Amino acid sequence: MSPAYKILLLDDEQDLLELYRDILRQLPSKPDIQTASSGARAIAVLESEPFTMLISDLNMPKMDGLQVLSIVRRKFPHLRIVIMTSVLDEQYRSRAYAMGVDLFWEKPTNSAEIKLFQECVESLLGRGAAQGFRGVQSKSLVDIIQLECLSQSSSVLRILNNNKEGRIWVLNGELVDAVCGALNGEEAFKEICSWKTGNFEILPSEPDRPRTIHNSYQGLLLDSAQAMDEMQSSPSSESVARGTSTRLGALARVDGVEFLMEIPFDEKKKEETWGAENAESLVAWARQTTKSFKQLGEKMQAGNLTGIKGTGVQRNVGILLREESLLTVGIRRTVNTDHLDETLNAIRTQWAS
Amino acid sequence: MGLLELFGRQDIKGLTRLPTGSFTVDASGRILSSTLPQIFPRNFVEDIAAAVLASFKEGQKAGLPLSDLVINYASLKITARELRGGAIIFLAPLSIKRT
């Protein structure tokens, strides 16, 4: 059986390479250990086959550890990187962490330190499949964007995900622009937010960047989270949607529609739903709301109830009425008030026909 | 003449003019302030408040938290905005538009 993990050791001193190889071979996961004595050689080895982890010295001739690190981090964003050095300078430590290393370790000098080092490496190897963005451990990209916006920062976030690259421009805590391949603006931002792993770096701000994003970061992050939730639950909601009427499916093609529920006033008759999660509670809410406002209208002699419209932080909703049934329409939150009326009118027309 | 006067007066007394104005209500349905004319029956105001608050509350329970509600009748528009469990509610009668 081939080892689960592969580690590449990089150091310019051959004796140390052999010593570390022996130390790492004692790990419980029994990783495959390979060695390289120069940065160029290490990069060539990494390009030739996949590795789980790179353990590199910092102080090396020609290409030093930080130079190797900057290349490796860009080319192999999933690779775990450990810096092991005898250079005890706080500046190097912070620079290395800023460049996205997972561990900065002083070269062990006694058996206790060796044991600790082994435990750390073993733990890091086991974390390979975990999600999260590198550079700031245990933080998602959403956390990082929120952090930048809440602190009113101005910066450019450069995010790498496999061979894809995205950039997000933040100016005084507001999202200004985003680019990802051919996409830009909000579309690009949502695409980037859908990435689950990768690597990021914070570049200096570009205050003159033209603004293409006009929504708030909270709203966009909410939309992205919602889209991701929908993607995760797509098989079930899809089947729910397909299992019901094709007529509602046709109405759902109107831009901005999230869900539809046609509810007969006669409670003995079954309602039809399209794309609605939690349909039972929503049906009960729509029935009760319509009923109470109908009664109110009759009491006040205000004429027939013609419709109800609601706006909310998660989604908007409209209730359209016909003689025997009502149609509840869930509409994306991003559809503004003017467009909401247009959307509801378009659905009303199609529903009536 | 006396007979006509009797029927006529009774009919006029039964009509309630739909008001223009607003009122605020707390989470328990208590009316806090109002710019509605006093002639508009108090129980109507309370019924509107109850229906609006129930709609907000039940919507929240159903996973549909709403901040605003617009209820359209043939001759009245009710607009409500949620305020920390209570609401501010606007009433605006609709008239036939002259072109």
Can you give the CATH number for the domain in which B58 is found?
Answer: 3.30.450.30
Mean pLDDT of all residues in chain A? 81
A135 lies in some domain: no
Q: Where are the beta strands (DSSP E) in B39-75?
A: 68-73
B2 lies in some domain: no
Q: What total of structural domains would you count in chain B?
A: 1
Q: Burial, A217: exposed, middle or buried (Cβ in 10 Å; 0-12, 13-18, 19+)?
A: buried
Task: Using an 8 Å CB-CB cutoff, list residues of chain B that contact chain A.
Answer: 16, 18, 44, 47-48, 50-51, 54-55, 58-59, 61-76
A292 lies in some domain: yes
Domain that holds residue B34: 18-93
Domain end point (choices A204, A231, A258):
A231
- The CATH number of the domain where A36 resides is what? 3.40.50.2300
Separation in Å, CA of A334 to nearest CA in chain B: 14
B8 lies in some domain: no
Separation in Å, CA of B2 to nearest CA in chain A: 29
Chain B residues within 8 A of A303 when measuring between CB atoms: 73-76
Can you tell me the mean pLDDT for A309-318? 90
Q: What is the pLDDT of residues A71-91, one digit of tens each?
A: 888 788 778 888 888 877 777
Q: What is the pLDDT of residues A166-206, one digit of tens each?
A: 899 988 888 899 998 888 888 888 888 887 777 777 777 88
Radius of gyration of chain A (CA): 28
For residues A84 and A111, state if they share a domain. yes
Q: Hey, is A150 helix, strand or coil? A: helix
For residues A81 and A162, state if they share a domain. no
For residues A205 and A121, state if they share a domain. no
CA distances from A8 to A52, A53, A198 (A): 8, 6, 20
For residues A11 and A124, state if they share a domain. yes
Contact A55, A7 (CB under 8 A): yes
Q: Is the pLDDT of residue A164 over 50?
A: yes
For residues A56 and A107, state if they share a domain. yes
For residues A328 and A258, state if they share a domain. yes
A136 lies in some domain: no
Separation in Å, CA of A285 to nearest CA in chain B: 6
The shortest CB-CB distance from B55 to any of A289, A299, A313 is to A289
CA distances from A59 to A62, A67, A96, A331 (A): 10, 10, 12, 58
A149 lies in some domain: yes
Find the closest chain B residue to A289 by CA distance. B55
CA distance A141 to A30: 33
The shortest CB-CB distance from B59 to any of A300, A305, A310 is to A310
Which of A227, A214, A213 lies closest to A184 in space, CA to CA? A213
> What pLDDT tens digit does each residue of chain B (99 aa) get?
555 555 555 444 556 678 999 999 999 999 999 999 998 899 999 999 999 999 999 999 998 999 999 999 988 999 999 998 899 999 999 875 544
B9 lies in some domain: no
Chain B residues within 8 A of A285 when measuring between CB atoms: 55, 58-59, 61-62, 64
Q: Burial, A206: exposed, middle or buried (Cβ in 10 Å; 0-12, 13-18, 19+)?
A: middle
Residue A59 confidence (pLDDT): 81
For residues A18 and A80, state if they share a domain. yes
Separation in Å, CA of A266 to nearest CA in chain B: 20
> Which of B99 and A334 is assigned the larger pLDDT?
A334
Q: What total of structural domains would you count in chain A?
A: 3
- The CATH number of the domain where A265 resides is what? 3.30.450.30
A272 lies in some domain: yes
Residue A283 confidence (pLDDT): 92
pTM: 0.47
Chain B residues within 8 A of A313 when measuring between CB atoms: 65, 67
Chain A residues within 8 A of B76 when measuring between CB atoms: 297, 300, 302-303
Contact A272, A244 (CB under 8 A): yes
Phi, then psi, of A208 in degrees rounded to 5? -90, 5
Q: Burial, B42: exposed, middle or buried (Cβ in 10 Å; 0-12, 13-18, 19+)?
A: exposed
Separation in Å, CA of B80 to nearest CA in chain A: 9
A296 lies in some domain: yes
For residues A243 and A318, state if they share a domain. yes
B64/A317 touch (CB, cutoff 8 Å), yes or no: yes
Task: Using an 8 Å CB-CB cutoff, list residues of chain A that contact chain B.
Answer: 277-278, 281-282, 284-285, 288-289, 292-293, 296-297, 299-315, 317, 330
For residues A341 and A247, state if they share a domain. yes
For residues A30 and A146, state if they share a domain. no
Domain end point (choices A130, A161, A190):
A130
Can you tell me the mean pLDDT for A277-291? 90
Domain that holds residue A33: 6-130
